[in-house]
Structure 1
Amino acid sequence: MNAVKPKRLKKGDTVGIIAPASPPNQENLDRGIAFLKDLGLNVKVGNHVSRVNGYLAGCDQERLEDFHGMFTDPEVKAVICACGGFGTGRIAEQIDYELIKKNPKIFWGYSDITFLHTAIRQQSELVTFHGPMLASDIGKEDTHPLSKEGFLQLFEPSSLVYTEQISPLEVLVDGVARGEIVGGNLSLLVSTLGTAFEIDTKDKLLLIEDVNEEPRSVDRMLNQLYLAGKLKDACGILIGDFCDCTPKRNLSLSLEEVITHYVQLAQKPAIKGFMMGHCNPHIALPLGVQACMNTNEKKLIVDSGIL
């Protein structure tokens, strides 16, 4: 795939805020928007971001309209998700991917947004960004400075170099892996299987993370990825943060036992401990660019995601 990198941001640019999944906490969103303004950006909020339709931020058509509207709007240089939650995959089939090809822009989010990262990259070849969101992360009062610092990569091309200076890393399988980095939330990656947006991991570095899933659930999902060939196809595996993924019953395997089992079955270079996912700090990175993971050096280097 010939990855398409979006153009960098400049002070004074306008960024669009959408909620393609669940409705955001408004107070947190306001603080997140203030953060963007402090970076020198103007902000345009989608028409339906404050809508509430059960666990969705408006009906599917409303969320789709906000998504398309931001990519169509010539003033908007980046599309940033307010939060994750549930339901993003419901709009994937209706998205105009040719529109995205014609209007490549920065697209930023994670968690439930993983479905859109995968769909957009595979249908439009656009590099997207897996990073902390406004209401669910940046707008919280205890947000770590490193989470906020990640947004600076949108202003100036630079490689991400992740070492143990950021967090302790544990090698599960030795080796060096080079390839395009893909992935995100494990639950959402599994939900793409058997659809037109099924995650392609062939010769790629696969990132996985999740939240509030017991080891038995992580086991089921990793088994499905394994049986679908997605772990064996990958050139390497990055284990991000698995937040609150602890057993709620006495008889259980540990999360570590589950992850180690499948990584060793795949026999691809693997490191766990990356602060990527539902964690604080949350280190942002582009998806769809080249990266290199070296277990001997306990280092991950990811190419810049912008032009």
Structure 2
Amino acid sequence: MIYPARIHKGDTIGVIAPASPVIRKELYRGITFFEEMGLYVKLGKHIDQERGYLAGTDQERLADMHAMFADPSVKAIFCARGGYGTGRMAAEIDYDLIRKHPKIFWGYSDITYLHTAIRQTTGLVTFHGPMVASDIAKADFAELSANLFEQLFFPTKLCYSEAVSPLQVFVPGEATGELVGGNLSLLVSTLGTPHEIDTEGKLLLLEDIGEEPYRVDAMLNQLKLAGKLCHVAGMIIGDFALPTPKKEKPSLSLDQVFQHYFAELNCPVMSGFKIGHCTPNFSVPLGVKATLSTSKKTLVINAGVK
């Protein structure tokens, strides 16, 4: 794996919108957070663009991403928000550019597609965490989420335990492997593409938002039939911010869905992690070694920067 360099106070960071459009006032509220950390912020040239549900054309969004990786003054790249659109760019990304100029790359949700494509093509460790306009700008942005940005300034081994949130064991055990994954619907969208998620021997993180249990069931079934669950080292179930199922429609519970797909796996499975579309949102590096222990109820993750 390629570990990006840590950042320092006084550095310049880049902010881009590779998926859906941003609301300008929310973007600037989020920028203030970084400025208070002693960082300078450079915005992507096309960050104000709107094209329906996209923040500009594929070429404009891709150009901003390439420009930030190529700019020697920019030490880290943060995504303004998710939404939709990153998978449309994946085939045209200059992965050699990223490999030659590795930097901190941060986001989640729709950014899962970029995490997966970049890591599997270049070996770069990237970061799954709250975004500038959609999360950091909120008045209730959690102190824990804010504090976890410190992992970018100092190589930090993270330890998630029940001090953060209650954790539920589906399958007991302990396993060490490379931490991969992210948003379930985005991971499913990689199947059958050149960027299909590789889960063999990995600790697989899953999270999502707005998906009723039957939709989560369908996506987990697709992962299972694609062979993505049979050789994982362990499963880390993050937050699933669900809408209330319609009262007139019978439904399984999310725990029943998880039980169906995970109970017979030959690896540790634990849920309840506040990782994803939630408060707090516990940010983690992807591509690093981590250890999941159900007896200790911990997830210990190696540092993501050098």
Secondary structure of 1:33's aligned partner: helix
Contact 2:130 2:145 in 1 (8 A): yes
Shift of 1:142: 1.0
- 1:163-194 Cα offsets, whole Å, 9 max, x none, are 00010001110000100000000000000000
User: Distance between the aligned counterparts of 1:54 and 1:191, measured in 2?
Assistant: 21
Rounded to whole Å, the distance in 1 between the matches of 2:99 and 2:141 is 34
Q: Which residues in structure 2 correspond to 1:1-307 (within 5 Å)?
A: 3-249=1-247, 250-307=249-306
Residues 203/228 of structure 1: CA separation in 2 closer, same or farther (3 Å cut): same
Contact kept, 8 Å, 2:171 with 2:265, in 1: the verdict is no
> 1:172-226 deviations in whole A, cap 9, x for unaligned?
1000010000000000000000000000001000000000001010000000001
The separation in 2 between residues aligned to 1:246 and 1:178, in whole angstroms, is 35
| Runs (4+) off by over 3 Å | none
Q: Which runs of 5+ in 1 are unaligned?
A: none
1:261 Cα deviation from its structure 2 partner: 1.0
Name the TM-score, length of structure 1 as normaliser: 0.98
Q: For residues 254 and 243 of structure 1, what CA distance do their matches in structure 2 show?
A: 13
* RMSD, aligned α-carbons: 0.8
Query: Between Structure 1 and Structure 2, how many residues are aligned?
Result: 305
> Which one-letter code corresponds to 2:131 in the other structure?
M
- SS of the residue corresponding to residue 297 of structure 1 reads coil
Q: Which amino acid aligns with 1:263?
A: F
- TM-score, structure 2 length as denominator? 0.98
Pair 1:269–1:246, CA change in 2 (3 A): farther
Encode CA deviations 1:127-152: one digit per residue, 9 max, x unaligned: 00000001110001111111111111
State the one-letter code of the partner of 1:179.
G
SS of the aligned residue for 2:96 comes to helix
- The Cα of 1:247 is off from its aligned counterpart by 2.0
CA distance in structure 2 between the partners assigned to 1:175 and 1:25 by the alignment:
44
State the shift of 1:248 in Å: 2.3
Unmatched runs of 5 consecutive residues or more in structure 2: none
Shift, 1:15, TM fit:
0.3
CA contact (8 A) 1:85 1:111 kept: yes
CA contact (8 A) 1:60 1:91 kept: yes
Asked whether the 8 Å contact 1:127–1:287 carries over to 2, the reply is yes
- Percent sequence identity is 59
Structure 1 residue 233: Cα displacement: 1.6
Measured in 2, the distance between the counterparts of 1:245 and 1:255 equals 11
* 1:246 CA drift (Å): 3.8
Q: Which amino acid aligns with 2:301?
A: V
Could you tell me whether the CA contact under 8 Å between 1:173 and 1:271 is conserved in 2? yes
Whole-Å Cα distance in 2 between the matches of residues 23 and 269 of structure 1? 39
- Counterpart AA for 2:209: V
For 1:153 and 1:191, the matched residues in 2 are separated by: 30
- Offset at 1:245? 4.5
Moved more, 249-258 or 296-305: 249-258
SS at match of 2:263: helix
Q: Report the secondary structure of 1:21's partner residue.
A: coil
Measure the CA separation in 1 of the matches of 2:22 and 2:144: 22
2:26–2:134 Cα contact (<8 Å) kept: yes
CA drift of 1:24 comes to 1.4
